[in-house]
Amino acid sequence: MIEGVLVEGLVYGILALGVFISFRVLDFPDLTVEGSFPFGAAVGGALIVARVPPPLALGAAFLAGALAGAATSAVYHGLRVPPLLAGIVTMTGLYSVDLRVLGGKANLPLIAHNPVMRAAESWLGGGLDSSIQAFLAFLVVTGVLVLLLDLFFHTEAGIALGALGDNETSVVSAGVDPVRLRSVGICLSNGLAGLSGAFAASYQGFADANFGAGIVAAGLASVMIGEFLFRTNRIGGQLARVLLGSVLFRGIMYAGRSWGYLAGITPNDLRLLTAVLIVGSIAASRYKGGTRPGRSRA
Name the site residues for another protein (rule: CB under 8 A).
Answer: 152, 154-160, 162-163, 166-167, 169-178, 181, 233, 295-298
In angstroms, rounded to a whole number, what is the distance separating the alpha carbons of residues 58 and 40?
Answer: 8
Q: Rounded to whole angstroms, how far apart are CA atoms 273 and 265? A: 9
To another protein, the closest distance from the beta carbon of 154 in angstroms equals 6
Instruction: Give phi and psi for 208, each to the nearest 5.
Output: -140, 135
The length of the chain, given as a count of residues: 298
Question: CB-wise, 182 or 250, nearer to another protein?
Answer: 182
CB of 170 to another protein, least distance (A): 5
User: Closest separation between CB of residue 166 and another protein, Å?
Assistant: 4
- Minimum CB separation from another protein for residue 279, in Å? 23
The answer to whether the beta carbons of residues 79 and 64 sit under 8 Å apart is no
Is residue 106 classed exposed, middle or buried when 0-12, 13-18 and 19+ CB atoms within 10 A define those classes?
middle
- The CA-based angle 146-149-154, given to 5 degrees, is 130
- The β-bridge partners of 109 are 206
Q: Residue 3, Cα to own-chain centre: how many angstroms?
A: 20
* CB closer to another protein out of 113 and 180: 180
CB burial of residue 267 (10 Å; 0-12, 13-18, 19+): exposed
Please, which residue, 126 or 156, has the CB nearer to another protein?
156
What whole-number distance in Å separates Cα of residue 57 and Cα of residue 116? 10
Q: What is the rounded CA–CA span in Å between residue 164 and residue 133? A: 40
- The DSSP element (H or E) to which 102 belongs, if any, is none
Would you say 158 or 256 has its CB closer to another protein? Answer: 158
Q: How far is the CB of 169 from another protein (least distance, A)?
A: 6
Nearer to another protein, 155 or 210 (CB): 155
- CB closer to another protein, 96 vs 233: 233
Min CB(180)–another protein separation in Å: 8
Least distance (Å) from another protein to the CB of residue 14? Answer: 21
Measured from the CB atom, is 107 or 167 closer to another protein?
167
CB atoms within 10 A of CB 206: 18
